[in-house]
A = this chain, B = another copy of it.
Amino acid sequence: MKKVEAIIKPFKLDDVKDALLEVGVEGMTITEVRGFGRQKGRVEIYRGAEFVPEFLTKTKLEVVVDDPLVEKVVEAISNAAKTEDVGAGKIFVSPVDDVLRIRTGEHGKDALH
């Protein structure tokens, strides 16, 4: 099993979610994060004092999926979250040993569906 973690622009969340549901994902977890990357924030000016936010509001999406689905999921996210400019985001894939559904006690694959 893998965890696919994507850092995307907040306003893309809806599209990404829909794309994931289409490829069969049934659950996911969202965290509001602040990202630092190439994309620089827009200059905000407060009483003449310029302020370039180094950290931008981003959305982190985590979805744990069975190995066969990983590629599809990555692709789905990638397509839905794409924008032309810097800061479109990143996807990380990392190993997961096990999953447990608390309510039923199911383990592994079963816990995901």
Residues of A within 8 A of B (CB): 2-3, 6-8, 17, 26-38, 54-55, 58, 60, 64, 74, 77-78, 81-103, 105, 111
Contacts of A26 in B (CB 8 A): 37-38
Query: Which residue of chain B has the shortest Cβ distance to A83 in the bound complex?
Result: B103
A58 contacts which chain B residues (CB < 8 A)? 29
Q: How many copies of this kind of chain does the complex include?
A: 3
Which 10 residue pairs are nearest across A and B when measured between Cβ atoms? Answer: A88-B103, A27-B37, A91-B100, A88-B102, A30-B34, A93-B98, A93-B97, A89-B102, A94-B96, A31-B33
Contact between B96 and A92 (Cβ–Cβ < 8 Å)?
A: yes
Distance between Cα atoms of A15 and B23 in the complex (Å): 36
